[in-house]
């Protein structure tokens, strides 16, 4: 592991680290905030998955999450959104390729060689973090924004028992039925739509649900609202009678101004689950 930077932050440490990924066959970078309590022993973990075009850095510097995490004694993990580097496939469009991994294991050329983001997020990075940092991996929660909200919801529902709680900011709720999803799922997984369902939060909610609390915020002025399709997740929550709080926030858009406004709510929500019995 290479230490890129470590800075004092709200009594703890905000670090950036690089390691060789066996899943993605390239070097991967992540941010990790450790609160002051980590000096005395393992602390609970909140994952933050970012959206399209982002790296590990966007939420780390824009979301305002460290202050609230420090108050609750919770670590924050900021993974990258895709493999990167020389020899890693890319696309000219912002919504495919580097910066747009969609948290899936690609099976199609040229993406399959590196874009194994599901395995990286579900298996490799958690194991790496647990082996190298004072983190209580028995107490994990997950959140994310946009594409990262999609990833947070699908990982939480597909890995029962892993996460105590899940939340999302403006998640892509129904990618199998929107232009913002069908393109990427076809590119990464192929034309067989039967393989896409495992990466659709609305379908997973209807069929599987989540054994714990769910919180989702979306802005009414989100410029991508028709692509996010929050109404499909709401319908699935209602059909399943899932424990969930789904909120439309009047006047807010898709930006980090929106995310940072409601970050305290989300971290407090996860703290209740992480510290509860």
C-alpha to C-alpha distance for 131 and 112, rounded to whole angstroms: 27
Length of the chain measured in residues: 277
Give the contacts of 106 (CB within 8 A, at least 6 positions apart): 112, 115, 116, 187, 188, 189
Query: Residue 27: pLDDT above 70?
Result: yes
- Measured distance CA(149)–CA(50) in Å, rounded: 8
What whole-number distance in Å separates Cα of residue 141 and Cα of residue 65? 14
What is the tens place of the pLDDT at every residue in 111-137?
Answer: 999 999 999 999 999 999 999 999 999
Which H or E run includes 218? strand 214-219
**Fold (CATH) for 2-275:** Rossmann fold (3.40.50)
Mean pLDDT of 161-178: 97
C-alpha 270/C-alpha 69 separation (Å) is: 10
Q: 3-class SS at 38? A: helix
Query: What amino acid positions are annotated as catalytic residues?
Result: 146, 222, 254
Helix (H/G/I), strand (E/B), else coil: 23: coil
pLDDT digits (tens, 9 = 90+) for 69-93: 999 999 999 999 999 999 999 999 9
Q: Which residue has the tokens 């890129």?
A: 4
Q: What is the pTM of this model?
A: 0.97
Domain boundaries, the chain: 2-275
């Amino acid at each position: 592991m290479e230490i890129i930077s470590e800075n004092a932050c709200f009594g703890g440490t905000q670090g950036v680290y690089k390691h060789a990924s066996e899943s993605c066959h390239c070097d991967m970078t992540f941010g990790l905030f450790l609160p002051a309590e980590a000096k005395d022993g393992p602390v609970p973990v909140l994952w933050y998955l970012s959206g399209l075009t982002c790296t590990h850095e966007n939420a780390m510097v824009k979301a305002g999450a460290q202050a609230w995490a420090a108050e609750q004694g919770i670590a924050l993990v900021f993974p990258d959104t895709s493999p990167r580097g020389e020899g890693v496939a890319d696309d000219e469009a912002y919504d495919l390729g580097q910066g747009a991994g969609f948290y899936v294991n690609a099976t199609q050329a040229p993406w399959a060689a590196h874009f194994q983001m599901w395995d990286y997020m579900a298996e490799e990075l958690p194991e790496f973090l647990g082996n190298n940092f004072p983190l209580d991996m028995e107490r994990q929660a997950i959140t994310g924004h946009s594409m990262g909200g999609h990833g947070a919801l699908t990982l939480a529902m597909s890995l029962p028992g892993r996460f105590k709680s899940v939340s999302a900011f403006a998640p892509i709720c129904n990618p199998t039925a929107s232009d913002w999803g069908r393109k990427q799922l076809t590119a990464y997984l192929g034309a067989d739509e039967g393989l896409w369902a495992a990466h659709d939060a609305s379908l997973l909610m209807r069929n599987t649900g989540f054994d714990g609390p769910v919180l989702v915020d979306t802005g009414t002025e989100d410029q991508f609202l028709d692509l996010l399709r929050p109404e499909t997740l709401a319908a699935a929550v209602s059909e399943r009678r899932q424990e969930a709080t789904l909120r439309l926030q009047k006047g807010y858009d898709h930006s980090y101004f929106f995310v940072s406004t409601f970050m305290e709510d989300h971290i407090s929500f996860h703290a209740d689950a992480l510290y509860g019995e």
